[in-house]
Chain A
Amino acid sequence: MLRLAAAVAAKDIRLELRSKTALLSALVFVALVLVVFNFARDPTSVTAADLAPSVLWVTFAFGGTVALTRSFTIEREHSALDGMLLAPVSRSSIFLGKYLANLAFVGLVEAVTLPLVVLFFNVDLGHALAGIILVAVLATLGFVAIGTIFSAMVVKTRFAELMLPVLLLPFMVPPLMAAAQATTRLLGGRPLSELLGWLRLLGLYDIVFVSLSLLVFPAVVDE
C-alpha cells in the first residue's frame, strides 16, 4: 500500500516539477502576502517581532490553500482521476499518495515562507528554530489531510478555487491558533510546559483528522 502511495505521490511531484506553474505561483504569492503585511502595519505602534508569529501562520494558511487547490484540478483534465480509480490501487493508497504530494508542496511553501519572515520581519529565531519546525510539521499534517479531501470535492464545482478556502479555513482555525500561540511562546523563550497543551492539541488534531480523512476518502471518489 505504501509503495503504491509513493508512486501516486511521485507522479504528482514529477508532474509539478515539469510545469512548475502552481509551485512558482504559490511561492510568489506568499512573498507578496508578506510584503503586503509589512506595509499594512504601523511600524511605530507594533514591532515586527510581535507581529511575526501571526504573519507567519496567516501566510502558511494562505499559501497552503493555494498549494492545495491544484491537487485535484490536475486530475480533472482528461478525467485522469477516473483512470487512477480504475487502476488496481486501493483508495487508501490514492489518498495517501495525494496526501504525501500535498505535504511536499505545502511543506516547500512553508520552508520558503519561514526564511522570508525572518528576513522581512527581522525575527531572531535562534534557539526557537527546532521548536517552530516541530510546530509547523504538527500543524501542517492535520490541515493538509482535510485539504486533500476538500480539494477532491470542490473540483466537481465550478468555483473550485473559491470553494476550497471557504470550506477549509474553519478547519484551519484550531491548528492555526495553537501553532501561532506555540510560536509566540517559543520566540519569547518561554518554558516548554507553557506550550505543551498546544502541542497536545495539535497532535490530537492530526491523529483524528488524518484517520478520518482516510476513512471518508472512498465516499468522496466512489460513484
Chain B
Amino acid sequence: MSADFAAARSIIRRGAWVTGLALAGLAGVYVMALQYTPIEARQGLAQKIFYIHAPAAWSALLSFSLVGLAGGLYLLLKDPRVDRFAACSAEVGVAFSAVMLTTGPIWGKPIWGTWWTWDSRLTLTLFLFLLFVGYLVLRAALHDREERARFSAVVGIMGLVLVPFIHLSVYLFRTLHPRPILMKPSAPSMPPEMLRTLLTSFGIATLLFIGFVTMRYGIALAHDLAEAHADD
C-alpha cells in the first residue's frame, strides 16, 4: 500500500518539475513577447496578449480533444487509468479556457471597442467551456466509479465530435474574430520574430499542460488509493 502512495508521490514530483520548467519558459515567453517581437502596426501593444491568449486556447483545445480520445479509449479498454487521465485533462482544460476567456476580452476592449461580442467563435468557445464544466459537475454527481467513468467517456466523445461543428459554424456565421493566421493553406502571414515567439509559446503551453496533468494525475491517484484504503 505504501509503495503505491510512494508511486503517486513520485508522479506528483515529476509533474512539479515539468510545471516549474514550463513556468520558467512562460517567463521567457513574456520576455520574448515584450523585447524580441516587433510592435504590431495597427493594434500596438495590445497585440502582445496574443502570445498568452492563443497558446492558452491551444492547450484548452488540446486537453478537451484528449478528454474525447481518452473517452473512446476507455470504452474500449475499461482501464481506470484512462478515465483518471481524462478527468485531470478536463480540469486543466477548464483552467486554460478560463485564461483564454479572460485574455480575449482584455484584448477585445481596446481593439474591438467591446469586452464581449456575440461573435460565433466566442459564443461557441464559451459553450465548450461550459460543457466541460458540466462534464466535471456530472463527474461530481456520480458516485459509482465505474459508472462515472463510462458516462464521462460518453460526454467526452460527444464533446470531441461537437468541436468540428463549432469550426464549421464559424465559417457560416458572420464573424469578427481574426481569421486563421497560422493554420491556413498559404504561408503564415506574420514576421518571423512573431512566428518564432508564437510557436515557442505554444510549446511552453503544451509543456505546462503536461506538467499540470501529471501533477493532477498523481493527486487523483493518491486520492483513489486513499479511498480504496478507507473502504477496506
Contact = CB atoms under 8 A, between A and B. Distances in A.
Interface stretch (A10-18, A115-123, A150-158): A150-158
B153 interface: yes
A216 B169 contact: no
A66 interface: no
Contact of A170 (B130, B137, B142, B169): B130
Contacts, number: 86
B134 A166 contact: yes
Given A170-B128, A173-B127, A212 B165 contact: no
B158 A212 contact: yes
Given A149-B154, A153-B151, A209-B161, A167 B138 contact: yes
Chain A at the B interface: SS class? helix
B161 A220 contact: no
Give the interface centre of B134, B162, B165, B172 by most chain A CB atoms within 10 Å: B165
Interface string B133-176: 01101100110100100110111011101100110110011000
Interface stretch (A19-27, A97-105, A197-205): A197-205
A177 B75 contact: no
Contacts of B128: 170
B134 A167 contact: yes
Contacts of A171: 131, 158, 162
B147 A156 contact: yes
Nearest to B146: A223
A153 B153 CA distance: 12
A219 interface: yes
A212 B141 CA distance: 24
A208 interface: yes
Contact of A153 (B138, B165, B173): B138
Contacts of B130: 166, 169-170
A146 interface: yes
A158 B141 contact: yes
A219 B154 contact: yes
Interface residue range, chain A = 20 to 34
Nearest to A178: B169
B154 A220 contact: yes
Given A166-B137, A173-B123, A173-B124, A153 B162 contact: no
Interface residue range, chain B = 20 to 34
Give the interface centre of A159, A171, A209 by most chain B CB atoms within 10 Å: A171
Nearest to B150: A219
Contacts of A201: 165, 168-169, 172
B142 A174 contact: no
A150 B137 CA distance: 14
Contacts of A154: 138
B123 to A, nearest CB: 7
Contacts of A167: 131, 134-135, 138, 155
A114 interface: no
B120 interface: yes
A159 B141 contact: yes
A159 B159 CA distance: 21
A165 to B, nearest CB: 9
Contacts of B153: 219
Give the interface centre of B135, B137, B166, B169 by most chain A CB atoms within 10 Å: B169
Nearest to B171: A197
Nearest to A165: B134
For the complex of A and B, list the 7 residue pairs with the smallest distance between their C-beta atoms, beginning with the closest.
A170-B131, A157-B141, A170-B127, A166-B134, A174-B165, A153-B151, A216-B154
Given A167-B134, A220-B151, 7 more contacts: A166-B130, A174-B124, A174-B168, A174-B169, A201-B165, A216-B75, A219-B150
16 contacts: A153-B138, A153-B151, A154-B138, A156-B142, A156-B151, A157-B138, A166-B130, A169-B127, A173-B127, A177-B169, A209-B158, A209-B161, A212-B158, A216-B154, A216-B158, A223-B147
